[in-house]
Structure 1
Amino acid sequence: MTNNNQDKQAKPVTSSANAVPDTATGKPVEPAATQPQAKEKTSSSSAIILAVIAIVLAILLTAGLYWHGHNQTVAQAAQLAKLEAELNRQQGEQAALQSHLGKLDSSQASADEQLAGLSRKLLALDNKRPSDWMLAEAEYLVRMAGRKLWLEQDVVAAAMMLANADERLAALNDPGLVSVRQALAQDIASIKSLRKVDRDGLVIKLNTINDQVDKLKLTGIVMAQAAEPDHTLSESVTDWKENLKKSWAGFSENFVTVRRRDGKVEALISPQQHWYLAENLKGKLLQAQLAVYREQQAVFDSSLAQASEWLTNYYADDSVRQFMLEQIEQLRGQQIDVDYPEQFSAQDRLQQLLDDRLQRLLTGL
C-alpha cells in the first residue's frame, strides 16, 4: 500500500489550469505525452526495422552465396564429365592406333619375309638356269620384230630381229627348243618372201613430178580447119544456076566473108581457174604420196589417173607435159600394198614356254 501511494504521489498531477480547451466542445483536453517517451518509442521502432532488414539481407546474401556455389558446382561437374569423356575418347583412339600400328608391323614383317623369299628364289633361279634369260631375250626380240613390221612396215628390221632371236635360241643348245626354232624359221621365210616396195623411191618420183606443175602451159584455142569454097564455073549450059551462085559468091567475098567451121573448140580458162587447176593437180600428186606410205592402192591409182586426165585436157602438149605423163604412166603400174602375216607363229610358243619354265622353277624352290 505504501508503494502504491508513493507511486501515486510520484505521478505528476495535471491541473485543470494547464488543460487546453477543445475548440469544438469547449471541454478541456489533456496535453500529449512528454518528449522523452516519444523519442524512446521512435528509436525502438527503428531498431526493429533495421534488425529485420539486416536479417533479410543476411538471408538474401546466404541464398545468393548458396546459388552461386551450386552453379559453380554444377559447371565444374559438367566440365569434369566432359574432360572424362575426352580422356576416354583419346584413350580409345590411342588403343585403335596401337592396334593399327601392330597390324602394320605384322604386314611389314610379312612383306619383308616375302621379299626375302623372292630374293632367294631369284638368286637360286639365276644360279640354276641362267639360260632362261636368253630365252626371254629371244621372246622380246620376236615381239619387237612384230612392232617393226606391223606399225612401221619395216620388213628389213623385222627380219634382222627374228634372225637375232634365232641366234639366242641356237646358243642355248636345248633340244626342247627345236619346235620353236622351226616356227621361227617359217616366220623369217614368210617375211623375206614379201614383195619389196621402194616407197622412198616412189615418193621421190612423185615429188619430182609435182615440181614440174608450175612449168606447165595452158592449151590455147584450136580452131577447126575451115572448108575452102569452090568457085570454079562449069562449062555445061545446064549448070547455069550453079554457075550463077558461084559467081555471086565470088563477087560477095570482097564485102563479107562467112565461113563454117565444124569441130569442138575449147575455151580458155580464167587466171583464177588456172591457179585452182594447178593447186588441185599438186594436191592429187601429194595424195598419191600419202597413199604410198599408207598402202592405199585404190587411192594411189585414182590420184594418178585424175592427174593424167587433167594434164591431157588442160595443158599444152610440150616437153614438160610429155615428161609428166610418162612418169605418171610408169607409176600407175606399181603395186604398193603388201600382204603381211597377221602374227608370228613363234611368238605364242615362246611366251608359253617362258610361262611354263618360270612356274615350274618358282614352285620347285
Structure 2
Amino acid sequence: MTQAVVVAVGLVALLALGLAWQSQQRLKQVEQELVRRQDSSQSEANIARDQARQAQDLSRDTAAKVALLDARLSEVAVQREQLESLMQSMNRSRDENVVGDIEASLRVAMQQGTITGSAEPLVAALKQADERLARYKQPRLEGVRRAVTRDLERVKAVSVVDVSTLTVKLDEVVRQVDDLPLLAVAQPGREAPGAAGQASNKTDEARAAHARKAGPPPAGAASEAGSGWWSHLWDQAGDRWTSLSGEVWREARGLLRVTRIDHPEAALIAPEQAFFLRENLKLRLLNARLALLSRQFDTAQTDLREAQGMLDRYFDGRSRKLSVTVELLRQVQGQSRQVSVPRPDDTLAALSAVAR
C-alpha cells in the first residue's frame, strides 16, 4: 500500500515535473518570441523614427520650398503688377506721343496755310494723320480718325486762290504792255470803218475821170485793130493811172485822222510820254502781283482796277491785243479774292478729349 502510494506520488511528481518542464519550455519559447518581437518592434520603431525624422526633414524642406515659392510668387505678382502698370504707362505715353505729334503737325500746317494762303499744307497734314492712325489701330483713337476724315473732306471742298497761276497771268499782261497801241499815237495801216469802201469809190471815180479825159482812141488805131498793140498800151496806161491815183489818195488820207476819244487827257499825251505811261502801268501791275504774293487781296484789287482804268483811258480799244490783255486782267481781278482755309476744329477737339 505504501509502495503504491509512493509510486503514485512518484508518478505525480514525474507528471508534475514533466508539466513543469513543458511549461518551462513554453515559457522560454514565449520569452524568445517576446524578445524577437521586441527586437523587431525596436527595429521597426527605429525605422519609423528614421522615417519620421526623414519626413520631418522633408516636411521642413517642403515648407521652406513652399515659403520660397510663396515669396517668389509674391515677387512675380509684384513684378506683373509693375509690368502691367509699365505697359499701361507706355501705351498711355505712346498714345500721348501720337496725339501730341498729330496736334503739333496740324498747328504747323495751319500756320503755313495762313502764311501761304493755300490749303495744301493742311490737307497733307490731315492725310498723314489719317495714315498714321490707320497703322496704329488703337480703338481709343477711332474718334480722332473720324474727325480727321471729316475735316479733310471739309478742307478739300474749299476752293483756294491759285496765286501762282494769277502771277503768271499778270506777268503775261506786263509782257504785253509794250505792244499795246495808244490812242494818242496814229497806227499805220488802220482805217476807220467804211474806209475801204470809200477808197474803192475814189478809185472808181479816178478811173472814170481818166476815161473821160483820155477820150476815144484815134481812128487810125481803130483801123489797125488787128495788131492790138494800141489797145494793150491803152490798158497799161489806164492801170498805171489808177494805181497812181489810188496811192495819191491813200497818202492824202494819211495826213489827217479823225478819231473819237472819250477821255481828252489821252489825246494830250506826247509821244515821248508814252514810255512813262507804259512803265507806270507796269509798276501798277507789279504792285498788284506783290500784293497777291503777300495775300493782300484788297490792295491787289485796287491796283488791278487802276490798271484797268489806264487801259480803258489811254489805249486803243479797237486793238485785238488790248482785248486779250483786258480779258487776262479781268480773269485775275475776278479770281483775286480772300478765301479763308477752314480750321480742323473737329480734329483738335477730338485730340483734346483723348489727351484728358
The two structures have a TM-score, normalised by structure 1, of: 0.46
Structure with bigger RCO (C-alpha 8 Å, 6+ apart): 2
The two structures have a TM-score, normalised by structure 2, of: 0.47
